[in-house]
Structure 1
Amino acid sequence: MPSPLHADSSAAQPPEHGTVDALISQTRRLRGGLDAVRRAAAAEEEPDDARSRWHRALCDLAAHQLDDLGEHLGQLREGPPPPGDPAPAG
């Protein structure tokens, strides 16, 4: 039976760039799909309808989360900042 330290060491290794790049691409595809859903819904919805406002709010939230995910994955791909660099704001 492998020791718990063995399992932890594999989890602590950074992901391969190919994996991170694939996740970034998938995030961009999802963002594009979300934009298409928003455009299609905007053509069919009444602007002041409660359901339309709800739909727009959820799309806005999803867009914000996908944008944040893309930024975080980009940081992961770049790796940690060199020692002595200030931490990024945010």
Structure 2
Amino acid sequence: MLYQTVEDKSIVEQTHEIINLAHALPDAEMKLPEKFLAMSIVNKFSKSWKNFGMTLKHQKWRLSLDDLVIVINIEKEHRSQTYKMSIKHQPRANLIVGK
């Protein structure tokens, strides 16, 4: 599959696009195992999601497509909260320089 996720589009949206493509395969008399498809999606994560993908690959259990969408949503929310907190806790100071 020559597909790669991109940074400027929602990872959840891109995951759903791949799942929709895979669900169209039975119409073409082809069927991929769900867990294989889930790991194929993980392999296509963009750079900012690579570490998370490695974590998923090293799990002892394999994700279903539904589980994959759930953990991606959780990670996306976590990243969003972490980003908001990092902005909130940035130091703020007024620098006054005397003449």
**TM-score, length of structure 1 as denominator length:** 0.41
**TM-score, length of structure 2 as denominator length:** 0.38
Higher relative contact order (CA 8 A, sep 6+): 1
